Every structure is written in C-alpha cells, then in structure tokens.
Amino acid sequence: MQVLAKLEEISRRYEELDTELARPEVQTDLDKLRKLSKEQSDLDEIVKVYRDLSEVLRETEELETIIADDADGELVELAREDLLVLQEKRAKLEKSLSVLLLPKDPNDAKNTFLEIRAGTGGEEAALFAADLFRAYGKYAESRGWRVEMMSSSMASAGGIKEVVALVHGRGAYSRLKYERGVHRVQRVPSTESQGRIHTSAVTVAVLPEAEDVDVEIDPKDLKIDVYRSSGPGGQSVNTTDSAVRVTHIPTNIVVTCQDEKSQHKNKAKAIKILRARLLALMEDERQAKISRERKSQVGSGDRSERIRTYNFPQNRVTDHRINLTIYRLESVLEGELDDIIDPLAIHFQTQAMAESLS
C-alpha cells in the first residue's frame, strides 16, 4: 500500500508538471522550463508503467467480481483465462516498477568523461589502451553518442599513454560507469619471439560531466601554466605556447591539455575536466561517509580494483565482479559491450534494491 501511495503521489506530480509547463510565464523562462521538463522526463516511464498497472488492477477487480458472482459457468471460465493473463502482466509491471523506484543516481543522465591510462606493461599496455578506447568509441557510436577528444598522450609504437574524451549522449554515464577500474590483458605481444603471454593493465576512469552549479571553482584556487606542446618522443608539435596545465591548489589535482592549437581552447577543456574530477572527488567522499563498510568499490569508483580480464589466447573476457565469462573477445573489442554491461546493471540494481529494503 505504501508503494501504491508513492506511485499515486508521483502521478499527481506528473500532472502538476503538465499544468506548470503550459503556463506562459514558464514558457518564457528557459531555466525553469528546462528544469521542469527534465523533472517530467525523469517521471515519464514510472507514470506510464503505473497507469498500465492501474488498468490491470481495475480489469482484475472486474474479472474477480464476475467469478465471485458465478452467474454463468461459461463466462466464469473465460474470466479465469483472462485473469491468468492479467496476473502475468501484473507481475511484469510490478517488477519493472520495483527497478524504476530505486533511488536514482543523479548523474546517470549526464554526459561522461572517459579517461584511459596505460598501466603496467609498457608499450603493450599502451597498445591495449588504444584497443580499449577504440572499443568504447564503437560502443558510443552504436548508441548514438558523440565522442569529443579532450586530451591525449600517444606512445611511440602507436599506442596511447593517456586519453581523456567527453562522451555526449543521454544515459552515457549510466552505462559506462560500470567500466571504471583496472582492465587486465593477457596476450602475446607482436614483438615476443618466444610466444610467451604477457600480462598488462589499463586503468579506466569514468566521471560525470560537471556543470557550473555542481562545482564552483574559485579562480584564486587555480595555478595556470602555459608551455609548448609536444608529441611522441618529445618532438615539438606547435611553435607557440598553446599547451595549458591547470593545478587546483586545494586538492593538488593537475590537468593538462595540448591537443588544440589555441591556448584558450586548451584552458577551457582543462577546466572542464578539472570540474568533473572535483565532482567525482566530492561524490567519492560522500559515498565513503555513507558506506565505509561496503566491500564493493563500483559505486565509489575505486580504480585500484581489477575488474576485468581480456585473455586473447582463449578468446575470453571475464568480469570478476559478477564472475561473468564470455568467449567473444573480438566482438567485445568491436564495441559489443551490452552482453557485459547489461548483467552488471542488473546485478548492481538488485544489490541496491536489497540494501534499500534492508
């Protein structure tokens, strides 16, 4: 009954938003219009499923009345058949609502920063970082997202030492957040003459894009240095001091950008990345206070945890958090990630539901 009361309250709020959005003064206030439209959009799916459930409950009540009256044997038999169908539909709708009513991560709908860094393994780690970045790019393309390069540092053999990209698209963070952590690769490098398998590691960080209202940065807290950008091996790329290094003094977070030829563009990108890292830091601190005892680090973004292994000789990908193994490594590196992300989402949604009930 408490759940139905909550759903009724949500439905009423949805109708109130309809009325508010139709007002002329709201139509001319872009900030308020955007805020109310987003609130209504967030409630869309819940209200639709709730209304479908309400209709099922109404029809169920009518059929139960027919069966109880027992006026016509043939009619009762038909009512019982219809009731079985409605019971199945009701179970599915209630399951959907149980997930939709879970506490929402306020960052889920945001664009997301994707940061990939080569770890242990030297050039082999850098080559796999490039493979992984390409896979995420293909996955983004398949979902209609746009990838904007923010900063990169290339390795001499064609790999990537570090890359930071901004993924634009609704729900980008909600899907990619399960990718943060250490990704381990096991394969025979092209330079290995003995055929020995090497183990390397790549770190992936996923940060929601922060807006000005999320994180306020005092210009006095920033130290900004400019220098001449360079490419692999240290050779000069530009002849002007266009590269920018931004240091946030209170946290000692440092962001560098040199991909753009314009100093101003590099500075703007660096501050955007800094804002996202500060938001992630604030969220990590908040999560730590709420759940210090939790062993799972997915929610708090612990990047020291090995989350996945890519084994090339066995064509195997294993996600260690949920003991999931699939033998389609090539398709995964072609961006077909839903077979991994879907089970992860279900696992952590179920875990969140259990914790909210307890």
Task: Give the residue from 61, 80, 100 where a domain finishes.
Answer: 100
Is 106 inside any structural domain? no
Is 358 inside any structural domain? no
Q: Are 84 and 173 contained in the same domain? A: no
For position 347, what pLDDT does the model report? 86
| pLDDT higher than threshold 70 for residue 29 | yes
For position 279, what pLDDT does the model report? 86
Task: State the total domains in the chain.
Answer: 2
For position 231, what pLDDT does the model report? 58
The percent of residues in the chain predicted with pLDDT above 70, rounded, is 86
- As a whole number of Å, the CA-based R_g of the chain is 26
Instruction: Look at the chain and count its residues.
Output: 358
Cα–Cα distance between 48 and 42 in angstroms, integer?
11
Q: Are 84 and 40 contained in the same domain? A: yes
Task: Give the residue from 69, 100, 131 where a domain finishes.
Answer: 100
Cα–Cα distance between 53 and 74 in angstroms, integer?
27
Sign of CA dihedral 7, 31, 210, 152: positive
Q: Are 185 and 40 contained in the same domain? A: no
pLDDT tens for 141-163 read 999 999 999 888 888 778 999 99
Is 324 inside any structural domain? yes
Q: Are 91 and 117 contained in the same domain? A: no
DSSP 333: T
Of 196-210, 321-335, 344-358, give the lowest mean pLDDT range: 344-358
Q: Are 179 and 325 contained in the same domain? A: yes
Q: Are 24 and 127 contained in the same domain? A: no
Lay out the sheet containing 306-311: strands in order across: 146-154, 160-168, 112-118, 198-208, 181-187, 306-311, 316-319, 324-326
pLDDT tens for 186-238 read 998 876 667 788 899 999 999 988 876 678 888 888 998 888 766 554 454 55
For position 134, what pLDDT does the model report? 96
C-beta atoms surrounding 156 within 10 Å: 11
Is 296 inside any structural domain? no
Stronger pLDDT, 156 or 319, i.e. the higher one:
319
Q: Are 312 and 285 contained in the same domain? A: yes
∠ Cα 149 219 242 (to 5°): 40
CATH of the domain at 150: 3.30.70.1660
CATH of the domain at 15: 1.20.58
State residue 249 phi and psi, 5-degree precision: -60, -45
Give me 322's structure tokens: 């949920």
State residue 222 phi and psi, 5-degree precision: -110, 135
Is 336 inside any structural domain? yes
What does the pLDDT average to over 340-345? 90
What does the pLDDT average to over 13-19? 92
Q: What pLDDT band is residue 185 in, cutting at 50, 70 and 90?
A: very high
User: In terms of residue numbers, what domain contains 28?
Assistant: 2-100
Q: Are 78 and 182 contained in the same domain? A: no
Q: Are 120 and 88 contained in the same domain? A: no
C-beta atoms surrounding 330 within 10 Å: 11
For position 96, what pLDDT does the model report? 79
pLDDT tens for 96-135 read 787 677 767 778 888 999 999 999 888 899 999 999 999 9
Cα–Cα distance between 326 and 40 in angstroms, integer?
39
For position 294, what pLDDT does the model report? 37
Task: Give the residue from 73, 100, 127 where a domain finishes.
Answer: 100
For position 233, what pLDDT does the model report? 47
